Amino acid sequence: MERHQWDPRTERPGDLVAPVRLDRTGASGPTTHQAAGRQWRQTSSGMYVPASAPDHVDQRILEQGSRIRSYGAVTAWAGLRWRGASFFDGTASGGEMLPIPLVTGPHELRPDRRVVITKTQLAPTERELVDGIWVATADRSVFDEVIRHGERRQGIVDVEMAIAAGLLTVSDFRSYVDGRNAWTGVGLARAAAGAAGLGCRSPQEVRMVLVWMWDADLPRPLCNVPLFDRDERLIAIVDLLDVEAGCVGEYQGADHKEGERHRRDVAREQKLRDHRLECFEVVGGDMQDRELVAKRMVAARERSRFEPPSRRTWTLRHPAWWAEWAAERGL
């Protein structure tokens, strides 16, 4: 599909309210009497915000992250969210809000239903003060999120979305994981790191590419690459490209069903076919049946022309675009 409009970074909401402690004078925080009323909301033991404070994911991260002082950090999805990766929205698959993950090492922190506390060690170099709260470094947050999910495909989605948000490169994460030898779950993290670096821009693109590689057993493709004609004019930026076969795959979300968007997609596919590229499409509901999608992919590749470079009317060779593509992926 065309270059995505989705921005992997999010702007911090301007309505965040930092928690404050009780103050018997009422100057810097509520008095005990005020805190017991309807004008204040308790965020954790001894900490309060006005009842008018927002109730969204960034506010929840701030409230629980403010509990961290001399040791510990917000980590996993919340650490990545606080650093600007909007994909990590703090909700589970069913839509319910997730508790904020905190890592505290051997240090104690009062339990609270609004947080999940892990006591794995945290090196001083693995946390940073970001906009007022202590947050695990990007690579540590990704590592903890992969372990939290405990599933290889989703772990690769986590790594890819952190890369898409510009928080780290695949080389950064592989180097970090290489130093985690004795850690619980490091095998899963290594598997995710080894498969990541695809260059996908959305979770569903990642899942589509993994079906291509693992379920259809097809060669690792290029993702989000620009294709040009022989006059170096852009044909399209495609989600998935098998260079050898000349096969293109596209993931189409619900927004592509709208009239004008759908017409553009049809015209774009025809443009690709005019350059003798075979195309297949995957839509949201398809991903519930990976076997079906894999068969569609195999059939599309079998229909492909496998033309040698000298006979193709399309090319990847545009120095400026190719350099940008490689740089974005840390290659």
The first and second tokens of residue 88, run together, are 């990590």
Alpha helices in 56-202 (DSSP H): 57-65, 76-82, 138-149, 152-164, 170-178, 186-195
* 49 phi/psi in degrees, rounded to 5: -130, 155
Contacts of 80 (CB under 8 A, 6+ apart): 88, 138, 141, 142, 145, 161, 162, 165, 167
- The residue type found at 291 is E
Whole-model pTM above 0.85?
yes
Closest CA to 30 of 15, 14, 55, 51: 51
Residues 233-255: tens digit of each pLDDT? 889 999 999 999 999 999 997 55
- Average pLDDT over the chain, rounded to whole? 90
Closest CA to 256 of 202, 322, 209: 202
Token pair 């409009």 is found at 5
Residues 208-237: tens digit of each pLDDT? 999 999 999 999 999 999 999 988 888 999
| pLDDT at residue 205, as a whole number | 96
Q: Is 254 exposed, middle or buried (0-12, 13-18, 19+ CB in 10 A)?
A: exposed
pLDDT over threshold 50, residue 1: no
Residues 37-77: tens digit of each pLDDT? 999 999 999 999 999 999 899 999 999 999 998 899 999 99
Query: What ranges make up the beta strands (E) of the chain?
Result: 20-21, 40-44, 47-50, 73-74, 100-103, 115-118, 127-130, 133-136, 222-229, 234-242, 247-252, 278-283, 314-315
Asked if residue 22 lies in contact with residue 37, where contact means CB atoms within 8 angstroms, the answer is no
Q: Which residues share a beta bridge with 115?
A: 100
| pLDDT at residue 326, as a whole number | 61
pLDDT over threshold 70, residue 4: no
